[in-house]
Amino acid sequence: MEYEKLDIYESSGQEISSIAQYLLAPFILVSSSGILDIPINDYKTFNKIVKEIAPHFNKVVKITTDENQIVIRLQNLRESSKVHFMNLKENRKINAVVSDIYIQKRLQVGENHSHQKNIKLI
C-alpha cells in the first residue's frame, strides 16, 4: 500500500456544495473525530473530491492499494468549514436532503422528549 499526502489548500470563502454538506454533516453534527475514505473510480471523481470536499479537511491522503485501487482519506475537518456549515444551518440554507437526514431528525428526537406532558383524564 502506498500513502501520499496531498497538499490541498483552503480557498477563502469557498461555498460548500450539496455533496460536501452531506459528507461534512456527520463530522459537525454527530462527531468531529473520524475518517472519511472515498473510493476513486475515475479521474472525474478524483477531481470533484479534490475541488469540492478535500479543501474542508486539514489532512488529505491518497492511498493506492496493492491492487491499484485509489482511496482518498479525509481527516480533521477545518474549523472554518464547520463555522461556514453552521452559518448555513442557522440561515436555513442547508441542502434539503442533508437537513432531513441530520437536522430535522435531531430536532424531532429532541421535541419528543421536551414536549411530553402529563394529561389527566376527566
Condensed to tens digits (0 to 9), the pLDDT of residues 34-83 reads 899 999 999 999 999 999 999 999 999 999 999 999 999 999 999 999 99
Give the pLDDT band of residue 15 (cuts 50, 70, 90): confident
> Whole-structure pTM over 0.85, yes or no?
no
Which of 19, 18, 75, 68 minimizes the C-alpha distance to 40?
Answer: 68
- φ, ψ of residue 38 to 5 degrees: the values are -120, 115
Report whether 1 contacts 66 (CB < 8 A): yes
Contact 16, 85 (CB under 8 A): yes
Contact indicator for 21, 87 with CB cutoff of 8 Å = no
Cβ(11)–Cβ(55) under 8 Å?
A: yes
